[in-house]
Amino acid sequence: MIELSKDQSVELATEDGAHPSRLRVGIGWDKSRTGGFIGTGAPEIDLDASAIQFADGELFDLAFYNNLATRDGSVVHQGDNRSGSGAGDDEMIVVDLDKVYGRVDRIFLLVSSYAGHSLEWTDNAYCRVVTDDEQEVELARVTLTAGVRETGLVMAELLRGPEGWRLHAVGEGVPVTIPTQAVAALQRLL
């Protein structure tokens, strides 16, 4: 597993050099323990994972809690977690790279606070990419290490290149509460 910092990239391949065709993107977070009086006033945080596809600089499609699959069936959101409670991934998105429409060259991986809370109210937020098979090999991870004042964060993007797909850590805060609001901000990152 490779821990990526902002603006770092890694080829999506296992240790033996194989390029997986199916990925699972896991997003996790915990409620901040330091909010409010003696840590008791932190609100419940409902973060939502989204995958937003672009083709040649234009929005192609997106998968999120209210649109669980892209129309080509390549990206499927696995359901909404409204609290971040429990261990492990809180929300997951499965990406079948072989099914991604040919013109799609970027898939942004975004989290946003549905209720409009700043991401400063979260702890231990991460985005990890694992193979979607019985081995579940973790290929890369991006961790949110500092408070983000915005309500959304572009954690990473999957980039299609001549040699295959790469994961690029973005780490850019964006003022969005629902994924459809992110399109303009994401176009600035293209």
* Overall domain count for the chain: 1
Q: What is the DSSP letter of 72?
A: T
Question: How much is the average pLDDT of 122-139?
Answer: 84
How many angstroms separate the Cα of 83 from the Cα of each of 13, 16, 95, 177? 32, 37, 24, 15
Q: What's the pTM value of the predicted model, to 2 decimals? A: 0.86
How many angstroms separate the Cα of 31 from the Cα of each of 9, 36, 41, 145, 189? 28, 12, 11, 14, 28
Question: DSSP states of 83-115 as a string?
Answer: S--SSS-SEEEEEETTTS-TTEEEEEEEEEETT
Contact of 89 with 128, CB cutoff 8 Å: yes
| Spatial distance between the Cα atoms of 49 and 93, rounded to a whole number of angstroms | 8
- pLDDT of 175 above 80: yes
* Segment 16-50, tens digit of pLDDT: 888 899 999 988 877 666 554 445 555 666 788 89
Note down the domain range covering 130.
2-189
CATH of the domain at 47: 2.60.60.30
Structure tokens at 2: 């490779």
- In angstroms and rounded to an integer, the radius of gyration of the C-alpha atoms of the chain is 16
The three-point CA angle 150-77-53 to 5° equals 65
| Spatial distance between the Cα atoms of 136 and 84, rounded to a whole number of angstroms | 21
- pLDDT of 102 above 50: yes
